[in-house]
Amino acid sequence: MMRRRVPGAGGRGPGNDEGGRGTGRKRPRRPSSSSRHPAPDTLHPTPYTRHPGDNFAKVDASRFKDVAELAAAVSACRACPLSATRKNAVPGEGGGRKGIVLVGEAPGAKEDAQGRPFMGQAGKILNGLLKKHGVLREEVFITNVVKCRPPKNRPPKPAEVAACRPYIERQLELLGPAVVCPMGNSATRALLDPKANITNVHGKAVERGGLVFFPLYHPAATLYNRKLLKGLEEDFSSLGKLPRGRTGTQRRLFSGEG
């Protein structure tokens, strides 16, 4: 049985057994298929509990030791009904070199097909904005509040956001970013303020729960309202001027330093 690689996990599964030849020693008998490949629950024990008759389970993400382990669990998650209609879960990807985490609403069709975030037209706009400021996509971490695509790209339901919330909260704990950028109303309301309106709060840094949040317009919104693109570009310029740490350093997020 071939091991499916988990998108965004950043690691490989165990390699094939290496058997020496010509040593004069008897090769050990290979274990049975069932012992070589443990059941999925043995590899990634279910991180949630479900009450009988409840379509939503409570996720315990606190036990994940790193982002790769969390990504593997997200890809196998069955905590809410979205898992039944998705093709691939989208845990998120990227690095923490720039100390920035960009958070969208939920995967779309292309993201669902590839298991990677922001792969469509909105992703092209996001990549262009990063490149304009000398930042590679691989230098920031990109994810969504909800990790599975809602059917027909509808907005995520509150219960779906709540079911996925432990994953994004644990990702932020593990990454420890200098700034978190919720993009659009859904992400901003999920992470910052349930009553927030992105029109009023975009481009303004707010500290909450030990993290700095800097809401942005969602790149997809600029596809339908080109006037928002100028605001998004201005906000990216302001984002790059934010300090990379809280120790009085003058280093900036888009300073070009590592």
Confidence at 27, pLDDT banded by 50, 70, 90: very low
Average pLDDT of the chain, as a whole number: 82
- Single out the residue of 211, 209, 214 nearest to residue 237, CA to CA: 214
pLDDT at position 95 over 80: yes
**pLDDT score recorded for residue 96:** 80
DSSP three-state, residue 58: strand
pTM across the whole model:
0.78
Q: Looking at the predicted structure, is the pLDDT value of residue 24 above 80?
A: no
Instruction: From residue 118, give the alpha-carbon distance in Å to each of 31, 53, 60, 122, 185.
Output: 42, 34, 26, 6, 17
User: Mean pLDDT: which of 4-13, 44-53, 226-235 is highest?
Assistant: 226-235
**Domains in the chain: boundaries:** 39-240
Distance of alpha carbon 150 from its chain centroid, rounded?
16
Cβ(111)–Cβ(87) below 8 Å: no
Query: Residue 111 has which token pair?
Result: 């993201």
Question: Residue 79 and residue 92: Cα distance in Å, rounded?
Answer: 18
- What is the pLDDT confidence band of residue 245, given thresholds at 50, 70 and 90? low
CATH of domain 39-240: 3.40.470.10
pLDDT tens digit sequence for 132-167? 999 999 999 999 999 999 999 999 999 999 999 999
For 123-138, what is each residue's pLDDT tens digit? 999 999 999 999 999 9
Identify the band that residue 57 occupies on the pLDDT scale cut at 50, 70 and 90.
confident
Find the helix or strand (DSSP H, E) in which 102 lies.
Answer: strand 100-104
- Sequence letter at residue 80: C
Residue 97 is predicted with a pLDDT of 83
Residues 190 and 161: beta-carbon distance below 8 Å: yes
pLDDT at residue number 210: 92
141/53: higher pLDDT: 141
**Structure confidence at residue 26 (pLDDT):** 46
Helices 227-240 and 121-132: angle between axes, nearest 10 degrees: 40
Q: Which amino acid is at 179?
A: V
AA identity, residue 53: G
Q: 159-189 pLDDT, tens per residue?
A: 999 999 999 999 999 999 999 999 999 999 9
Q: Residue 55 has what pLDDT?
A: 75
- What's the rounded Cα separation, in Å, for the pair 242 and 254? 8
